């Protein structure tokens, strides 16, 4: 029951099926060398909170854990390629059949026609 209480004390960005696909590949399991992670899901949710809100790590709500520890762990996972693995795992099973963007769907601002910017005075 205590573990469930911890899970419900912060906002969840990942759906349960997404979490189940990545959880066994994340570092910090009891069978992995080094320290065992306390709560990988809470950490992944913290990283998603920072990314979604565009906030600084110091602004991370306490429910997600210590901001400094989270930031250090984020950098460590980045160096190890863990985030790329998570992205690849979730992207491989995503339904992107309908997803397509081409230049006919995107409007550019009228001043984005490639002319040189700045004040240009004619002689």
- How do residues 31-54 score in pLDDT, each as one tens digit? 776 666 778 899 999 999 999 888
pLDDT (tens digit per residue) in 96-117:
555 556 655 556 666 566 666 6
Provide the pLDDT for residue 64.
92
Provide the H-helix boundaries in 11-117.
16-22, 40-53, 67-80, 82-92
**Rounded CA separation 72/86 (Å):** 18
pTM of the model: 0.65
pLDDT for position 67: 95
Cβ neighbours of 9 (radius 10 Å):
12
CA dihedral 22, 27, 31, 34 (to 10 degrees): -170
Distance from C-alpha of 64 to C-alpha of 99, rounded to nearest angstrom: 32
Residue-wise pLDDT for 48-60, tens only, equals 999 988 899 999 9
* Mean pLDDT along residues 67-77: 93
């Amino acid at each position: 029951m205590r573990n469930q209480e911890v899970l419900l004390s912060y906002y969840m960005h990942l759906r349960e099926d997404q979490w189940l696909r990545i959880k066994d590949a994340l570092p910090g399991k009891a069978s992995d060398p080094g320290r065992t992670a306390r709560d990988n899901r809470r950490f992944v949710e913290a990283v998603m909170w920072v990314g979604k809100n565009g906030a600084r790590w110091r602004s991370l709500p306490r429910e997600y854990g210590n901001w400094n520890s989270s930031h250090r762990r984020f950098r460590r996972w980045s160096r190890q390629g863990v985030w790329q693995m998570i992205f690849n795992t979730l992207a491989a099973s995503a339904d992107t059949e309908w997803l397509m963007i081409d230049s006919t769907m995107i409007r550019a601002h009228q001043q984005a026609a490639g002319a040189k910017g700045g004040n240009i005075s004619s002689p």
